[in-house]
Structure 1
Amino acid sequence: MELAVVTGANSGIGEQIATGLARHGASVVLVARNRDRLEATRRRIAAIAPGVDLTVEPVDLAELDEVRGLAERLAGRDPSIVVSNAAVIAPLDDRTPAGLHRSLATNHLAPYLLLRTLAERPSPRPRRFVVVGGSPRGLRRVPVDLDDLNAETGRGLGWPPSFRPFAAYARTKNMNAMFVYGLAGRLRGTSTTVNGAHPGIISGGRLNRHDRGALRVFGSVLGAFSPGTETGADTPLWLATAAEVDGVSGRFYVKRRAVQTAGHTTDPERVERLWRESARLVGLPE
């Protein structure tokens, strides 16, 4: 039986992806910060897919030491599917004890550390890694500031101030695409694939729980006209399970179609520099 891992699995798109994997027959590890919410999610999925093995991993993905521990535990179980879905739009002054902006740590550094650690452990079976990113079209205007990954200067984050956390979040979503390309290049010739996916603009998740001011109003209006979490889960779940993408790696998908992301995400020098800076921030060799 396949073992699948889903981060951000306690609600929204993550719960829908985990439910789909359970229906697919996989054993599923549910990863999120709050144990009580995870247990409630586990019970909901168990009612839909009775008999499927479901375990919970209460981990704060903004805390890199906790991510390291999770990676070590999962490496021993050798998952064949890992879906990195967890994300947050955090205020710019929301910093971890290590001084990292919570959006950077949760949205980019955690999947970098987790997937890279798992990728570097040889596996006798094919593996699929899926990174849930953002809209390639919408993110063209917010290139990653490689001199300010941690959003310490606020440079280029725009106006009004209430939208700046969203701009910082958008940069981390571009980092997701760049990480996919960097990891796929390193995995070339192996049986492990990695691809990115945009779930679409959806309603029903908890991504916007920290929004304030004009950003909260904008999110409420947008959400009123957006499809639900089941629609958002479709492409990531398809990438994790579909036979037609077997062996495909290093691509980014929207509505099950491979698309081009912005040139600033595919530039090899920028991709490699992000890899090096991320390695430094998480304490891994380049």
Structure 2
Amino acid sequence: MNQGKRAVVTGATSGIGEAIARRLAAEGMTVVMVGRSDERLNAARRRVTAAVPGAEVKLERTDLSLLGDVRALAERLAADVVPDIVISNAATIAGIRDRTPEGIQPTLATNHLAPYLLMRSLIEPIGQRPARFIVVGASPTGLTRVPVDLTDLDCATGRGLGIAPSFKPFVAYGRTKNMNAMFVYALARRLTNTRITVNGAHPGIIKGTGLDQNIGGTLRLLNLLSKPFLSGPDTGADTPAWLATAPEVDGVTGKFFVRRKQVPTAPHTTDVARCDQLWDESARLVGLTPALSTRNSGRG
């Protein structure tokens, strides 16, 4: 069923992303692995092809914190064989005051604006072909208490991030993960009249993701203490890879899954007005109009 399909996986040089890529390659797909470093991409490809002899793996070096890089990636993907599956897995935790060369806070750029721009840019090239978009999010239960501040997406004010400096970047990260769920719902509604499905997935609390490289203080200590009890990347890859391949979710869209089960997310992530406000502001930040640029979209 999946033989010959093409899948794009971001954040594919290690951890969950690499495990997803390996699973999809084992299904007979051509896998496009996206990462920031040529060295890490080549090393990850060697590991995938060693595990799956004969796997067809292509590499795309892209810094997903840079919108210019994301646009260029979308153009290259559209000019080649259009993907059947796009899995947004890349994520980072950066300092609240950090800014990319484009002036955007890196956590917001990488975790939310990159998948927003990439997936929107691929809708028109995909057209009426069937395709699956999967956004790797985070725990719906754990994120209930960190609603997105729609007037402060990049957390520039520091409002609501708490007192402890070491926790603030993690709270900002949590907000972007709530944005992921809101984006899934908003995009799914806008694609009602297409054959593209959009779903979110929580991979679980997984070690080996690399996110702990940019956290410090008490949070780093807690992370180190918990590592021996966490599951590995293969466990984290299960639900996203299942959403990409399983026949039982064909046509299912606008849902969020944990351990292959559909679960609700917080009311502040499902509120249509809030989702639309995030959609419109995200469009402004990436330089798009709110309406989808496709003849095949549903709600504009």
Equivalent position amino acid for 2:74 in 1: A
How does the TM-score come out when normalised to structure 2? 0.94
- The yes-or-no answer on 1:189 pairing with 2:193 is yes
1:42 and 2:70 are equivalent in the alignment: no
Unpaired runs of at least 5, structure 2:
291-300
**How far did 1:119 drift?**
1.6
Matched, 1:68 2:71: yes
Q: TM-score, normalised by structure 1?
A: 0.98
Structure 2 equivalent of residue 165 of structure 1: 169
**Residue number in structure 1 paired with 2:151:** 147
Q: Is the 8 A contact 1:7 1:32 kept in 2?
A: yes
The partner residue of 1:276 within 258, 280, 297 is 280
Instruction: Name 2:24's counterpart in structure 1.
Output: 21
Is 1:31 the equivalent of 2:21? no
CA distance in 1, matches of 2:159, 2:185: 26
What is the CA distance between 1:47 and its match in structure 2?
A: 1.1
2: distance between equivalents of 1:180 and 1:121?
19
Residue equivalent to 1:4 = 7
Q: Deviations over 1:20-55 (max 9, x none)?
A: 000010000000111100100001111111222111
**Aligned twin of 2:240:** 236
Q: 2: CA distance between counterparts of 1:235 and 1:120?
A: 27
1:174-185 matches, within 5 Å, as 174-185=178-189
Q: Check conservation: 2:136, 2:202, Cα contact below 8 A.
A: yes
* CA deviation vs aligned residue, 1:161-201 (integer Å, no higher than 9, x gap): 10000000000000000000010001112111010000000
What secondary structure sits across from 1:195 in the alignment? strand
Structure 1: any 5+ residue segments left out of the alignment?
A: none
**Contact 1:78 / 1:123 at 8 angstroms: preserved in 2?**
no
- Separation of aligned partners in 2, 1:222 and 1:118: 39
Count how many residue pairs are aligned between Structure 1 and Structure 2. Answer: 286
The structural deviation recorded for 1:124 is: 4.6
Q: Following the alignment from structure 2 to structure 1, what is the Cα–Cα distance between the partners of residues 287 and 241?
A: 31
SS in 1 for 2:218: helix
Whether 1:156 aligns to 2:164 is no
| Alpha-carbon RMSD | 0.9
Deviations 1:203-232 (A, max 9, x none): 122011111111111211232211111001
User: Amino acid of the residue matched to residue 198 of structure 1?
Assistant: H
SS at match of 1:160: coil
Instruction: Answer yes or no: is 1:202 the counterpart of 2:206.
Output: yes
> Which secondary structure does the structure 2 equivalent of 1:83 belong to?
strand
Could you say which residue in structure 2 is the equivalent of 1:54? 57
Between the aligned partners of 2:31 and 2:195, the Cα distance in structure 1 is: 21
Given residue 100 of structure 1, which amino acid in structure 2 is its aligned partner?
I
SS at 2:125 equivalent: coil
> Which residue among 244, 254, 258 is the counterpart of 1:250?
254
SS at match of 2:166: helix
Q: How many angstroms apart in 2 are the aligned matches of 1:51 and 1:174?
A: 38
Contact 1:88 1:107 (8 Å CA) reproduced: yes
Aligned identity (percent) is 60
Q: Name the amino acid aligned to 2:122.
A: L
What letter corresponds to residue 154 of structure 1 in structure 2?
G
Letter in 2 for 1:96: T
Native 8 Å contact 1:96 1:102 kept in 2: yes
Give the 3-state SS of the residue equivalent to 2:83 in structure 1: coil
